[in-house]
Amino acid sequence: MLQHCSLLAPRSNEKSSEPLWYATSSEAPEAGSLVAARVWRGVIDADPALIGDLVSANHILFRHGIVDAFGHVSVRDGERPGRFFLARNMAPALVAAGDVMAFGLDGTPEAGDGRPPYLERFIHGSIYRARPDVGAVVHSHAASVIPFGVVRSVALRPVFHMSSFLGGPVPVFEIRDAAGPDNDLMVRDEPLGDALAAVLGAGPAVLMRGHGATVVGADVRQAVFRAIYTSANAGLQAESMRLGEVTFLSGEETARSAVTNAGQVERAWSLWRREAQG
C-alpha cells in the first residue's frame, strides 16, 4: 500500500500505473482496476484545495453534530459547473480525499466509477442545476431542526444574529406533495430533487418534513457556516419559545447583520478546521 498519495501533490503520481486514488481512502475498493485509476484522475483534475475543503467540511460537520453516520456535503466544480464532488456512500467523519466521487448534475457518477454513491445525491444535483449561485450543499438530519419541519404552526426564523443569513421563515419541503403518500422520505430521484430545489427557491435553507434540512452556500465554507448556525438557531428558538414570547430579528436587523457576518466565515472556518484535525 502506498503511504504518500495525497491530493496536495497529485501530479507526482500521475505517471504511475498503479491505482493510487484509493490510498487516502479508508477502504480500497476494486484495487488495481483501470476504472479506479481513471476515476482518481478525474477527481484530482479538480482543484486539490477544493477537495481538501470538502474533506474538512465532512469532518467539521460531524464534529459539530450536524451530520452523524448520515448526511452529506458536496461542492460544485468551479471549473466545470456541470459537475459536483461528493463522497461515496459512507459516514462523513471517515471521508478522505480518495473517497470523493464526481457526479453530473443528474446524479450520475462520472465515467465508470462503480463505488456505491449516496442514495440522496439528487438533492445536490438538482439544486446546482436550479441555482447557478450555489457552490456547495449540506444535507443533514440534524435533530435540532426536525421539530420545525413537523410542527406546521411554527416556522424556523432568525432568532439571533449569527443566523441572520436565513433572512426570514425557512420553507418546509413536504415530500408527500411530490411523491404522494407512498414514500420513504428519501429524495431518491431527480424529480424529487427538483421538487426540493423548487421549495428551496432562492433561499439559503429548506427544511424537510420528518427528515432533516438542506442548506446551501456560495462555497463550501459558507455552506458549513450556514449549516452549523441553522442548527444553532433551531435549538435557541425552541428553547426561547419554551420560556415565553420571542422577539425575532426584524427584517432590517436581519439584512444588516447578514451583510456584517458575510465577511466572517473565514474566522470560523480556520478554527473549525483546526478542531477537526485535532
Distance CA 25, CA 48 (A): 15
Which of the residues 14, 30, 120, 239 is marked catalytic? 120
- Tally DSSP H helices, then E strands, for the chain: 9, 7
Q: Does 120 qualify as catalytic in the annotation?
A: yes
CA atoms within 13 A on the CB side of 181: 0
DSSP states along 82-106: TEEEEE-SS-GGG--GGGEEEEETT
Judged by DSSP in three states, 146 sits in helix
8 Å CB contact between 73 and 57 = yes
SS3 category, 10: coil
CA 197, CA 192: separation in Å to the nearest integer?
Answer: 9
Please give the grid coordinates belonging to residue 119. Answer: 442514495
Contact 96, 103 (CB under 8 A): no
Work out whether strand 172-173 and strand 136-140 pair parallel, antiparallel, or are unpaired: unpaired
Q: What is the Rg, in whole angstroms, of the alpha carbon atoms belonging to the chain?
A: 19
Q: In 3D, which of 117, 110, 87 has the Cα closest to residue 100?
A: 87
C-alpha cell read off for 258: 447578514
Strands 205-208 and 172-173: parallel
**Rounded-to-integer distance, Cα 262 and Cα 176, Å:** 35
Active site residues: 120
